[in-house]
Structure 1
């Protein structure tokens, strides 16, 4: 049984949910050594969170965007499909659960600070993902998201601990 641990750094991101699967795999080269095991992915912050959620097939989304008459909004500058509906819906739901306009007591760091702590507590700061043949074994439609709950941050650190057979 082998163990390894890497702390990765993510640059500052805008408020919202951001896919980070590829960033984790890029910054954790030891992952490729594991035939079978578990990866614990732990965010060292209290106003952001980690989430496993839908990361859908581009063909499915291109039809959905077109059927609803908003196909062009699903294209970015490089003419690559950008899928933001799950992310936008997640942000909307979290904002309803922990809005900024509640009479919070902890407000020294701004109106988005306490809602950020609430959202982080609800969503969570760690994930356990199986490792199979050197890859994170997420489902076909699953992606790992960093959910940034503050408008301003200085980047985030994530500790990735691997355990398994190499």
Structure 2
């Protein structure tokens, strides 16, 4: 069985956010899958998707601090700056972290580890709603 849907994530402020519940709410079809895979592809170049710590919010705060130091806003060496001081750093963060993930599905549930969650990295000050293509393959 193959299912593909476009999901819309609500607007999130700049930073790293656990969006597992938001994804699962928009994919009731997951419950039909005994064994399979969920592939998520973020259709943006200034945000990222990953798997990370879902319990302690200081992990996400530390990630934000780390990436803001490694790709600072408004650096004088950026050529691409006409969309704002946060745009080129957002592209760097997206390229570094990636825009897609694949998660196993087992007995109708995402087979994430105890402390794992789907993490959206919102790298713009005003990123807006984000689109994700979700592809489910399984039986």
Q: What TM-score does the superposition give when structure 2 sets the normalisation length?
A: 0.96
Residue of 85, 88, 102 corresponding to 2:58: 85
2:49–2:100 CA contact under 8 A, matched in 1: yes
1:127 paired with 2:101, answer: yes
CA distance in 2, matches of 1:52, 1:159: 17
Structure 2: segments with no counterpart, 5+ residues: none
1:36 paired with 2:9, answer: no
Alignment of 1:148-163 (within 5 A): 148-163=122-137
Q: 1:68: which partner in 2?
A: none
SS in 1 for 2:126: coil
1:25 paired with 2:30, answer: no
Aligned residues: 138
CA distance in 2, matches of 1:48, 1:135: 25
Which 4+ stretches in 1 moved above 4 angstroms?
A: none
CA distance in 1, matches of 2:19, 2:74: 30
SS in 1 for 2:50: strand
1:141 paired with 2:109, answer: no
* Structure number with larger C-alpha Rg: 1
CA distance in 2, matches of 1:51, 1:111: 24
CA distance in 2, matches of 1:8, 1:107: 29
Q: CA RMSD in A?
A: 0.9
Q: Deviation at 1:153?
A: 2.1
2:14–2:127 CA contact under 8 A, matched in 1: no
Q: Deviation at 1:10?
A: 1.1
Q: What TM-score does the superposition give when structure 1 sets the normalisation length?
A: 0.81
Structure 1: segments with no counterpart, 5+ residues: 57-82
CA distance in 2, matches of 1:36, 1:139: 16
